[in-house]
Amino acid sequence: MSVFLDHASTTALRPSAKKALTEALDLLGNPSSVHSQGRSTRELLEASRDTVAKAVGANRSEIIFNSGGTEGNNHAIKGIYWSQNQTGAKKTVIISSETEHHAVIDPVQWLAKNQGAEVHFVKHFANGMVDFESLKALISKHGPSVALITLMWVNNETGVITDIPRVVQMASEFQIPVHTDAVAALGHIPIDFQASGLTAMSLSGHKVGAPIGIGALVVARSAKPISLVHGGGQERALRSGTMNYPLAASFAAAATDATAELKEEMNRLTVLRDEVEARVTQLVPSAIVTASGADRAGYNAHFIFPGTQSDALLFLLDQEGVCVSAGSACQAGVLGPSHVAIGMGFDQAQASACVRVTLGFTTTADDTAAFIRALAKIHPIALQAAPA
Ligand SMILES: Cc1ncc(COP(=O)(O)O)c(C=O)c1O
């Protein structure tokens, strides 16, 4: 079996999540049915909601179960934008960042293309951290016209953390709703939704050890983003459709474990991550650690290997039995330059030479050592393989 160092793309199913899922699959009953079997699956669903709420410092009524991060981001961004403009208020400005995941950038750009939204991106420092002066300037300039601010809590390529409570505080001057994509934050940094003052926050189960296809949009009780799907009125009428209690139960189990182990795990992974970075830069002195010096979560190491191409590096590492990623993959799995690296100010050639190593709860020192050994072997080949 290969060494898996691509935990930001998806991570292993946790035993607790598997157990919760398989037990729930033995139940029968639509959680909306009034009979006893429906009531028992509803009980499980509501217990799962309580558990997820507790893991992220939210009220139980704020957890809207859905299919994951992409849906949550689309719902929050389009839904808040539409609700802000419901009464003809002309709040057309969206503030975001070029280093967001495509599940944020694309709905924002869809609103710009199809619904007249005006998008402004914050600036970043070279290490990927948000330049709060640029955010302040955008808020001051566009304040009353801003429909929402959407900035991710932790960047999934670099691990860079944005001070989301500070964003919310700055936005409060004009009562601007703030959404955060917390998909890469859950299980990696402490999250307290209520203390943050956020309007909405997207979560995804498969990044913390639940199966793919479950997540939640956390929506403040005072907010009502317009729904993307209409139907039976489930989930506060924000996300219609028969509620997926087996996956919700599995997500709750994974989120509980991920948050319970967070401190210890992040300490352990930060040591491994720092060692990976030190050994890589020793081995390849030209390698760039893109987020060096930034405030960041402990599980990402994001490199640029000048003079190489990500796809060659990934292919060669895979042949050596090590799975990593470049960070950005289109639907067909074809690698393009990392838009995150571009957003940080790196050029096209540098952004096409990225490798992202991400660690998870199953990662051991043997895994990271295997990566270093494989890199030592393949880097000279990748350099030669690069087009002149
Ligand atoms: C930061 C971030 N946001 C959103 C998503 C999309 O989440 P999902 O796969 O649950 O749709 C991902 C997944 O790669 C991600 O890393």
- State the average pLDDT over residues 136-162: 98
Q: What residue's CA is closest to ligand 1, atom 5? A: 69
Query: Ligand 1: distance of its center to the CA of 70 in Å?
Result: 6
Q: Give the residue numbers annotated as catalytic, written as ranges.
A: 330
Count of Cβ atoms closer than 10 Å to residue 179 Cβ: 32
Cβ < 6 Å from ligand 1: which residues?
Answer: 68-70, 101, 103, 152, 156, 181, 183-184, 204, 215
**What six digits make up the tokens of 387?**
């087009």
Asked if the model's pLDDT at residue 334 lies above 90, the reply is: no
Query: Ligand 1: distance of its center to the CA of 204 in Å?
Result: 7
pLDDT score recorded for residue 54: 98
Question: pLDDT tens for residues 15-47?
Answer: 999 999 999 999 999 999 999 999 999 999 999
pLDDT score recorded for residue 336: 85
**Residue 1: which pLDDT band, with cuts at 50, 70 and 90?**
confident
Which atom of ligand 1 lies closest to the CA of 103? 4
For a pocket test of ligand 1, which of 66, 101, 228 has the largest count of ligand atoms closer than 8 A to its C-beta?
101
What are residue 322's DSSP bridge partners?
Answer: 3
Residues 6+ apart with CB under 8 A from 210: 13, 14, 17, 247, 250, 251, 253, 254, 255
CA atoms within 13 A on the CB side of 307: 10
Query: Ligand 1: distance of its center to the CA of 30 in Å?
Result: 28
pLDDT score recorded for residue 387: 73
Rg of the chain, C-alpha, whole Å: 21
CA 37 – CA 29 distance, rounded (Å): 5
Q: What is the DSSP string of 77-124?
A: HHHHHHHHTTTS----EEEE-TTS-HHHHHHHHHHHHHH--EEEEPPB
Which atom of ligand 1 lies closest to the CA of 9? 14
Q: What residue's CA is closest to ligand 1, atom 7? A: 69
Query: Ligand 1: distance of its center to the CA of 379 in Å?
Result: 29
- DSSP character at residue 225: P
Q: Which domains are present in the chain?
A: 3-11+261-385 (3.90.1150.10), 15-260 (3.40.640.10)
pLDDT score recorded for residue 371: 98
CA 317 – CA 84 distance, rounded (Å): 48
pLDDT score recorded for residue 333: 64
Query: Ligand 1: distance of its center to the CA of 387 in Å?
Result: 32
Residues 6+ apart with CB under 8 A from 296: 128, 154, 155, 158, 159, 160, 161
Length of the chain: 388
Q: Nearest CA to 296 among 209, 356, 237?
A: 356
Asked if the model's pLDDT at residue 313 lies above 70, the reply is: yes
Q: What residue's CA is closest to ligand 1, atom 8? A: 69
Which atom of ligand 1 lies closest to the CA of 154? 1
pLDDT score recorded for residue 89: 84
User: pTM of the full predicted structure?
Assistant: 0.97
Q: What residue's CA is closest to ligand 1, atom 13? A: 9
**Residue 388: which pLDDT band, with cuts at 50, 70 and 90?**
low
pLDDT score recorded for residue 328: 58
- Reduced to 3 states (helix: H, G, I; strand: E, B; else coil), residue 307 is coil
- State the average pLDDT over residues 5-17: 98
- State the average pLDDT over residues 47-52: 98
Give percent of the chain with pLDDT exceeding 70. Answer: 98
**183, 203 contact by CB (below 8 A):** yes
Question: pLDDT tens for residues 51-85?
Answer: 999 999 999 999 999 999 999 999 999 999 999 99
| Residue 261 phi, psi dihedral angles, 5° rounding | -90, 0
CA 65 – CA 49 distance, rounded (Å): 8
